């Protein structure tokens, strides 16, 4: 299958690289051409618009920031739909809302195109290693056609259900991710205030009941002062906003999620939203001072 990939950021670039390694005929597009050209040197074809990607692809994947970006990729001046490629499958692997996924499906059907929402979890590490968990919403027969491509990028591929269900499950995941980070930062803050050695804290948290991916991967980064993004704080804030909109519409008391959203709002307000999610420690450090 000829595959197109749009959006070559922290996650998108390694995901597209893994498709190349798996032998797929790949065409890529990115707003900043340098990232696309780097993949071009690895064997990908470089396009200059989403329309160009769609014209030479059977399946087009997007890994962009938010719903407005997906909308631009699809329906913009040089968007995917301008290719008039009936039968094309468009796969949105970014994170936005279940309702947006349903609206996109309806609009794409008018162009004879299929849609899957397939957000991922596993961070930059999972993207590099090809071990992402991928949550897919959409028609089962369409999912089956794309499944081999998913397997080139991820290890745990789950067809959740109808369109929008992939995004719904991803938002549940993000709630737990955010609260894990809050707990890790607060645990570290308490330990340091009590004079407990960072390494001893990690030894206990990483081997006992408190263990998690956040403890294993992000706690050592925080301890070393490495706040570079594997996943940007501003993006987690966006995801939590979607989750809280759903919670409010259903009168669900997601108290911890509300707190986490406010903490990540604070990060963005402080101008440090481009840091990794572990940069939350900076908010707490300001509060302590």
Tell me if 30 sits within 8 A of 14, measured CB to CB: no
Cα of 65 vs its chain's centroid, Å: 8
Which of 143, 120, 144 has the alpha carbon at shortest distance from 132? 120
- Long-range CB contacts (within 8 A, 24+) of 27-30: 27/2, 27/3, 27/52, 27/53, 27/56, 27/57, 28/4, 28/53, 29/4, 29/5, 29/53, 30/6
Active site residues: 170
Alpha-carbon distances of 186 from 149, 192, 230, 266, rounded to whole Å: 39, 10, 20, 16
Please tell me the distance from the alpha carbon of residue 66 to that of residue 24, in angstroms, as a whole number: 26
């Amino acid at each position: 299958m000829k595959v197109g990939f749009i959006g070559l950021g922290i996650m998108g670039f390694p995901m597209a690289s893994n498709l190349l390694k798996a032998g797929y005929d790949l065409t890529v597009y990115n707003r900043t051409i340098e990232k696309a050209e780097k993949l071009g040197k690895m064997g990908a074809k470089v396009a200059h618009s989403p329309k160009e990607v769609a014209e030479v692809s059977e399946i087009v994947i997007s890994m962009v920031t938010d719903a407005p970006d997906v909308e631009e990729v699809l329906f913009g001046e040089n968007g995917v739909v301008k290719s008039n490629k009936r039968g094309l499958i468009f796969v949105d692997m970014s994170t936005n809302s279940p309702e947006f996924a349903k609206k996109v499906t309806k609009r794409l059907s008018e162009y004879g195109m299929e849609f899957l929402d397939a957000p991922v979890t596993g961070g930059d590490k999972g993207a590099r290693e090809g071990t992402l968990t991928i949550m897919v919403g959409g028609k089962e027969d369409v999912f089956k056609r794309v499944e081999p491509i998913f397997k080139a990028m991820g290890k745990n591929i789950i067809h959740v259900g109808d369109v929008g269900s992939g995004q719904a499950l991803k938002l549940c995941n993000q709630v737990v991710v955010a609260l894990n980070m809050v707990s890790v930062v607060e645990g570290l803050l308490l330990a340091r205030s009590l004079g407990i050695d960072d390494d001893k804290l990690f030894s206990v948290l990483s081997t006992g009941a408190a263990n998690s991916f956040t403890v294993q991967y992000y706690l050592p980064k925080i301890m070393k002062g490495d706040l570079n993004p594997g996943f940007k704080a501003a993006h987690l804030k966006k995801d939590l906003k979607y989750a809280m909109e759903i919670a409010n519409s259903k009168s669900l008391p997601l108290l911890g999620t509300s707190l986490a959203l406010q903490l990540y709002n604070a990060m963005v307000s402080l101008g440090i939203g481009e840091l990794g999610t572990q940069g939350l420690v900076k908010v707490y450090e300001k509060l302590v001072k």
